[in-house]
Amino acid sequence: MPHPISRFPVPTLEALPDDLRERILAVQEKAGFVPNIFLALAHRPDEFRAFFAYHDALLLRESGLSKGEKEMIIVATSGANRCLYCVVAHGAILRIYEKSPLIADQLATNPMKADITPRQKAMLAFALKVCSDAQNVGESDYAALHAHGFTDEDIWDIGAITALFGLSNRMANLVSLRPNDEFYLLGRVPKAAR
The answer to whether 90 touches 69, Cβ cutoff 8 Å, is no
Q: In terms of C-beta density within 10 A (0-12 exposed, 13-18 middle, 19 or more buried), how is residue 2 classed?
A: exposed
Nearer to its own copies, 147 or 167 (CB): 167
**Binding flag, residue 106, its own copies (CB under 8 A):** yes
- Residue in 15, 33, 115, 151 binding its own copies, rule: CB under 8 A: 115
The separation between the first and the last C-alpha atoms of the chain, rounded to the nearest angstrom, is 22
Site membership for its own copies, residue 84 (CB under 8 A): yes
Q: Binding residue for its own copies (CB under 8 A) from 5, 68, 122, 166?
A: 166
Residue 15 touches its own copies, criterion: CB under 8 A: no
5 binds its own copies (CB under 8 A): no
Contact of 71 with 90, CB cutoff 8 Å: yes
- Do residues 161 and 70 touch, judged by C-beta distance below 8 A? yes
Stretch that binds its own copies, among 12-20, 26-34, 64-72, 151-159 (CB under 8 A): 151-159
Task: Work out how close the CB of 94 gets to its own copies at its nearest, in angstroms, rounded to a whole number.
Answer: 13
Lay out the site mask for its own copies across 29-58 (x = CB under 8 A, - = otherwise): --------------xx-xx-xxx-xx-xxx
Closest CA to 134 of 162, 112, 165: 162
